[in-house]
Structure 1
Amino acid sequence: MPCFKNRMPNLEKLEESLCKIPDDEVLGEIAALLPECAINKFRVGRSRIYDEPREEESNLEAFTMILDNSCQSVVLMKVDGHNVTFPSQCCRKLYSTILNEEPDEVIRIPQNCSTWHELRRFRVTGSRCYELFTYNGPNWNTKAEKYFWPKSFTNKFTKHGLEYEDEARRAFIDATGCNVVQCGMVVSHSNKWMGYSPDGIIFENGHPAALLEIKCPWNGAKQTITEVVRTCDYISDQSLKRKHKFYGQIQMGMAMLNLKKCFLVLYAAFDRSILILEEEYDEEFAENMIIRIKKKYFENMIHIICDKDDK
C-alpha cells in the first residue's frame, strides 16, 4: 500500500492520471495535505538554494570541467545500468520528486552551510558510504532513519578537523606547488542519489587530474605528524588500509570524479608538519562497493522517507 494513501484520499485518482499531471501539481497536492512532510520541506529548501553565497565566478570554468569529467566515469555508467527494485510504488514516485537540483548549481554551494547539509541529507556521500557498504544487520529501518536524520553533534575531533583544514590545504600547496580547486558537492548526473564533497581537486594542464582529501588527527595538536602516524589505525606501511572508511571514501570520490589517483594529506597542527600519501584508484573495489550500496539504498532505505511522511 502506498505510504500516502491514508492521508491523501485523492491518491487513487491521481495515480490513474499521474503521467498527465505536471510535477508541480503533484508536489502541490502533497504540500497542501502534508505541509510538514520531508518532501515539502526539501522542495521549499530547493527554492532557497540560489540564495546561498556561491563560489567565485572565476571558478565556473573549472566547475564545468569537473562535472564534464565526472560524466565520463565508467563506474558511474555501470552503476546507472544496474537495475534495482523499489520496495513499493510510493518509493518510485518519491524518488522522482526529490534530489532534482542541477549539478552545476549544487557544486557552487559552499560546503558546511545549511543548504549543503540539506542537499546531502537523502544522498549517499563519501564520508558515510563505507558504513552502508559494510552494514549487514537486520534493522534497516533504524539504520536508514539514523542515516537520513542523524542527531546533530559536534565534538572536539570534528571541530579540530574543520579548524585546520584550510591550513593543511595551504601546507600541501606550498609543499607541492599543485593547483587546487575547491568546490561544493559534486552530484552525479546519472546517479542523483550520490554526492561527493572533495577537500580539493588538483588540476594539471587545465584539467582535473587528482583528488585531494585532508585529515587532521586530533593528536596532531600536540604531536608531530611522524608521531601521529605511529599510532594511526588507518595507515600501514605508508598506505591507507583497505578495510577502513577512509579507503571507501576516497575510492567513491575517485569513481564519482573520474580520477585515477588521490593525494591523502595528514596534517599535524602542532608543528605544521604533513604527510602526503598517493593512493591509486581501485576501480574493481569502487564498482563493487557502489553497486552494493545502490541495492541497499533503494531496497532497504528509501522507503523510510515515505514512512516518515506518512506519520
Structure 2
Amino acid sequence: MPVAMHRRRVSNFTYVSPCVKYMIFLLNFLFWLFGGLLVAAGTFAFYEKWNTMGSIKLNTFSDVILNISLVLIIAGQIIFIVSFAGCIGALRENTTLLKFFSFKYLIDYFSKKYNDKNINALNLQNINKSYIEKNKNESVFQQLDIYDEILNLQHLRNYYTTNSRPLEFKQIKFYNDCIAINRDQILNLMYSTINQSNNSAWRLYRQTRISASSKAHQIKTRRARNEDLALRFIKDKKMIGKGLKYVNYGIEMEDFALKKYSLINNVQVIKCGLVIHQKQPWICASPDGIVIQNGKVEKLLEIKCPYNCKDSLLFDEKKQINIPYLHYDKENSIISLKKNHCYYTQCQIQLYCTGLELCDLFICTKRDCITVTIIRDELFLEKLIKKIELFYFNYFLPKLTCVNT
C-alpha cells in the first residue's frame, strides 16, 4: 500500500516571487518618498505665504482648492498613505493592505476612463478657458511690470529724513521684525492687496505705519498732545454712522468712476494695492489706480465720489462748485484742490511713495465729473515727511512697541 508523503513547508515559504515582491516594494517606496516631498514643499510654501501675508483666507472650499500650498499638502498626504500601504503590504504579503492599495488605483483607473469620455465635450470650453487664462496671465505680468517700474521710480527719487531711529532695544527689535520690509515683499503686497479695505493684509500692514489717507494729515495739522494722537492711531476705532455710509458709497462707486475716467481720457488704469516706501518703510499709500498711456506710466489716479452730491451737478450753471475742498479761479477758469485739505496731503504722500510727478484727483458722480491734476510739491513734502518721521519714532513707535510686547 503506497504511503502518503508529506512535504514539510519551510517557515519562510511564499507563493509570491521575490523579484515581483521587491519590485512592488521599490516602486511604492519611491512614491512614498515623493508624497513626503510634496507634503514638505506644501508646508514650506504655506509657512512662507503666512509670513508674507500675515493671514490666509480659507473661508470657502474654493479658497482651499485655489491655494496651491494646501493642494500640495493634501495630494502629498494621499500619495504618502497609499504608497505606505503598498510598501507594508508587499513586504508582509498583507492582503488587506494590498487590496486597499489596488482598490485606490482601481478607482483612479475608472475615474480616468470616465473623464476620457468627456474630453471631446470639454475641448471647446477648454479652448475658451485657456484663451481667457492666457489673457489673464498677460494682464498679471503687465501689472507686475508696472509695479516694478513704480518701485524703481520710488528708489531713484530723493527722500527726506531727520535721521531719526528707534532708541531702545525693544523698539529696534519690533521695528526690524514688523516694520522693515524688502522689495519683493512690497511688490507682492502691491498685487495681493488690490482690494484694499476688503483685504486683511492691507489692514494689518497699515496699522503699524503712517498711511496717506488719514494719519498723515492729522500729523500735519497737530500742534500738541502728540502722545494722545499716537494712542488714537493704535486704537483705530471702527467707523460708524454717516462716515461709514459715505465710505461705503465711495467703494460702491469706485469701479464706475474708474471706467468713466478711462473712457473720457482714453487711457488704461491699473489698480494698485498698498505701496510701502522702500527707504522709509514706516510710511505707505494706497492709490486707486496707476494711469497707463501708450504703454508708459503717466500718473496716479485718486477717486472721490462725494455722497452729498450724488444726485446733483458738481459744477452748476452759475459756474459755482458744489465741492467745498475745490477752488475755482473764475478769471483763468481753473479748478484746483485747496492745499490745506486732507486730500491734498493724501495725494502728495501717494506721489512720494510712488516716485511719480502727477496725480489726477477724479471727483465723480453718476451725473457729473471733474478732474483736478495735482503736481508733486517738493517743499510741502520735505516739511511734512520730516514732521511725520519725528512723530513716528518719538511717539507712535514707542506706543506700538508697548502694546505689542
Query: What is the TM-score of this pair, normalised by structure 2?
Result: 0.60
Superimposed CA distance per residue, residues 188-227 of structure 1 (whole angstroms, 9 cap, x where no aligned partner): 1111101111011112343322111111001122212225
What amino acid sits opposite 1:279 in the alignment? I
Kept in 1, the 8 Å contact 2:254–2:303? The answer is yes
Distance 1:252 1:309 in 2: 27
Distance 1:292 1:209 in 2: 29
Asked if residue 86 in structure 1 is aligned to residue 166 in structure 2, the reply is: yes
Higher relative contact order (CA 8 A, sep 6+): 1
Distance 1:85 1:117 in 2: 24
Kept in 2, the 8 Å contact 1:266–1:275? The answer is yes
- How far residue 94 of structure 1 moved from its aligned partner, in angstroms, is 1.5
SS of 1:209's partner is: strand
What residue is the counterpart of 2:107 in the other structure? none
Match of 1:287 among 355, 361, 382: 382
Kept in 2, the 8 Å contact 1:251–1:282? The answer is yes
Asked if residue 195 in structure 1 is aligned to residue 284 in structure 2, the reply is: yes
Distance 1:124 1:292 in 2: 12
What amino acid sits opposite 1:292 in the alignment? K
Larger mean Cα displacement after TM superposition, 183-192 or 91-100: 91-100
| C-alpha RMSD of matched pairs (Å) | 2.5
Alignment gaps of 5+ in structure 2? 1-47, 58-62, 68-135, 329-334
What residue is the counterpart of 2:306 in the other structure? 217
What residue is the counterpart of 1:137 in the other structure? 224
Distance 2:49 2:398 in 1: 21
Larger mean Cα displacement after TM superposition, 279-288 or 99-108: 99-108
Query: What is the TM-score of this pair, normalised by structure 1?
Result: 0.77
What amino acid sits opposite 1:218 in the alignment? Y
- How far residue 302 of structure 1 moved from its aligned partner, in angstroms, is 0.8
What amino acid sits opposite 1:240 in the alignment? L
Kept in 1, the 8 Å contact 2:361–2:373? The answer is yes
Kept in 2, the 8 Å contact 1:168–1:214? The answer is yes
Kept in 2, the 8 Å contact 1:45–1:115? The answer is no
SS of 1:98's partner is: helix
SS of 2:232's partner is: helix
Distance 1:45 1:226 in 2: 48
Kept in 1, the 8 Å contact 2:315–2:322? The answer is no
Alignment gaps of 5+ in structure 1? 1-42
Question: Larger Cα Rg: Structure 1 or Structure 2?
Answer: 2
Distance 1:206 1:303 in 2: 44
- How far residue 171 of structure 1 moved from its aligned partner, in angstroms, is 0.8
Asked if residue 158 in structure 1 is aligned to residue 247 in structure 2, the reply is: yes
Distance 2:337 2:324 in 1: 9
What residue is the counterpart of 1:239 in the other structure? 336
What residue is the counterpart of 1:260 in the other structure? 357
SS of 1:191's partner is: coil
Distance 2:308 2:280 in 1: 37
SS of 2:301's partner is: strand
Residues 180 and 86 (structure 1 numbering): CA distance in 2 closer, same or farther, change over 3 Å?
A: same
Superimposed CA distance per residue, residues 4-59 of structure 1 (whole angstroms, 9 cap, x where no aligned partner): xxxxxxxxxxxxxxxxxxxxxxxxxxxxxxxxxxxxxxx99645458469996232
What amino acid sits opposite 2:350 in the alignment? G
What residue is the counterpart of 2:206 in the other structure? 120
Superimposed CA distance per residue, residues 109-162 of structure 1 (whole angstroms, 9 cap, x where no aligned partner): 221211111011111111021111221222x33311221331112511111111
Asked if residue 61 in structure 1 is aligned to residue 145 in structure 2, the reply is: yes
Kept in 1, the 8 Å contact 2:50–2:56? The answer is no
Match of 1:250 among 328, 347, 359: 347
What amino acid sits opposite 1:175 in the alignment? I
What residue is the counterpart of 1:36 in the other structure? none
What residue is the counterpart of 1:277 in the other structure? 372
Is the helix fraction higher in 1 or 2? 2
- How far residue 236 of structure 1 moved from its aligned partner, in angstroms, is 0.7
SS of 1:223's partner is: coil
SS of 1:107's partner is: helix
What amino acid sits opposite 2:246 in the alignment? F
Sequence identity (%): 23
Kept in 1, the 8 Å contact 2:55–2:201? The answer is no
What amino acid sits opposite 2:218 in the alignment? E
Kept in 2, the 8 Å contact 1:86–1:298? The answer is yes
SS of 1:104's partner is: helix
Superimposed CA distance per residue, residues 41-92 of structure 1 (whole angstroms, 9 cap, x where no aligned partner): xx99645458469996232112211211221122x2x33xx31153533222
